[in-house]
Amino acid sequence: MPVSIEATPVSAEAIAACAAVLMEGRPVIVPTDTVYGIAAAALDEGAVGRLYDAKGKERSAPLQLLFAPGLEAVARFAVLNEAAHCLIEALGPGGWTIIVQAAAGWHSAALAGGATVGVRMPDARAVHALVELVGQPLAASSANYHGAASPRTCDEAIAQVGENCGFALDAGPTAAGLDSTIIDCTGESPRILREGAIDRQEVARILGMSAIPVLRSIRR
């Protein structure tokens, strides 16, 4: 089946067009600092469902929420504890996803029925602009069919999920080429669920830990 979208270089006009597609309830392909992602407006249940379908991903698996820089917006959706605050302050926008308790008063299919949320603040201006234009965080995951390799280029992302997306922003190959490091801050002591773009030594150093438990690593 032919792909219905093409890679569109990032520009103010392209970002505005991509935001319009998001507000219509369709998933889009976006460049981040780690790998290309597939994103949808987080509070649009239908759009989030279409994202799951595009990836072939079970709806029991939660998605990340993408935010622009600044903790005020994050605080509407997530309860940031001391460890989370410490990490975000030290790392700034970058290749991390921090899992914390979800704040009360909102719901999204991206939570997969759980009480925690994965906060992601990529170092990617196009994503920041989209979040601001759409007026809410974006539910997101890597733009690959579930189980396949995460894409480093827009064309790779289109080849995997493009048929089910309404727009694709192209910012060239991603800088990291490695998925974000997922840090679970919901327990008594932080742990890394997936070591990716940020290594364990950096996370442990920021948190003042001699070492941090790591459940899985995708670093070479």
Give the C-alpha separation, 194 to 213, whole Å.
10
Distance, in Å, from the CA atom of 21 to the CA atom of 165, rounded to the nearest integer, reads 9
In order of start, what are the domains of the chain with their CATH numbers? 8-81+96-179 (3.90.870.10)
CA distances in angstroms from 8 to 40, 43, 45, 119, listed in the order given: 18, 25, 26, 27
Tell me the per-residue pLDDT of 61-113, one tens digit each, with 9 for 90 and over. Answer: 999 999 999 999 999 999 999 999 999 999 999 999 999 999 999 999 999 99
Closest CA relative to residue 54, chosen from 198, 126, 159: 159
This prediction's pTM: 0.95
- State both tokens at 37: 């992602």
